[in-house]
Amino acid sequence: MEIDDHQISKRQGHAALMLKSFYRVFWIIAALGIFCLVLSYAFSIIVRSVRGHTGISVKGMTKDIKVAMNLFKTAYDRYPVPPSETQFLRTEGVLLQSLLGQDKESNPRAIKFIDLPIALDGKHGLTGLKEKDQPISSTTTLTDLWGEMYYLLIDADGDNRIPNPERRPEAIFKHRASALEFLSSSIIIFSSGPDRDPKTWDDNIGSWW
Ligand SMILES: [Ca+2]
Ligand SMILES: [Ca+2]
Q: How far apart are CA 140 and CA 20, in angstroms?
A: 71
Q: How far apart are CA 30 and CA 24, in angstroms?
A: 10
179 versus 82: which is more confidently predicted?
A: 82
HSE at residue 187, side-chain half, CA atoms within 13 A, is 24
Please report whether residue 65 resides in a domain.
yes
Closest listed residue to residue 182, CA positions, set 161, 200, 153: 161
Residues around ion ligand 1, judged by CB within 5 A, are: 155, 157, 159, 161
When mean pLDDT is compared across 34-38, 101-105, 139-143, 166-170, the lowest value belongs to 34-38
**Domain count of the chain?**
1
Contact 198, 151 (CB under 8 A): yes
CA of 79 to the centre of ligand 1 (A): 15
Supply the mean pLDDT for the chain. 89
Question: Which ligand places an atom closest to the C-alpha of 203?
Answer: 2
Residue 176 has pLDDT above 80, yes or no: no
Rounded to 5 degrees, what angle do the CA atoms 171, 172, 177 make? 95
Please report whether residue 60 resides in a domain.
yes
Residue 31 has pLDDT above 70, yes or no: yes
Contact 156, 84 (CB under 8 A): yes
Please report whether residue 180 resides in a domain.
yes
CA of 62 to the centre of ligand 1 (A): 19
Indicate the burial class of 53 (C-beta count within 10 angstroms; 0-12, 13-18, 19 or more). exposed
Q: What is the pTM for the complete model shown?
A: 0.74
CA of 106 to the centre of ligand 2 (A): 32
In this predicted structure, what is the pLDDT of residue 78? 97
Tallying the residues shown for the chain, one arrives at: 209
Residue 48 has pLDDT above 90, yes or no: no
Question: Which ligand places an atom closest to the C-alpha of 160?
Answer: 1
Question: Which ligand places an atom closest to the C-alpha of 200?
Answer: 2
Phi-psi bin for 58: left (phi > 0), alpha (psi -120 to 50), beta? alpha
41 versus 47: which is more confidently predicted?
A: 41
CA of 66 to the centre of ligand 2 (A): 20
Please report whether residue 27 resides in a domain.
no
Please report whether residue 29 resides in a domain.
no
CA of 187 to the centre of ligand 1 (A): 10
Q: How far apart are CA 101 and CA 133, in angstroms?
A: 10
Please report whether residue 188 resides in a domain.
yes
Please report whether residue 169 resides in a domain.
yes
CA of 84 to the centre of ligand 1 (A): 9
Please report whether residue 39 resides in a domain.
no
CA of 177 to the centre of ligand 1 (A): 23
- Domain membership of residue 64 as a residue range: 56-206
Question: Which ligand places an atom closest to the C-alpha of 204?
Answer: 2
Q: Determine how β-strand 182-183 pairs with β-strand 162-163.
A: antiparallel
53 versus 58: which is more confidently predicted?
A: 58
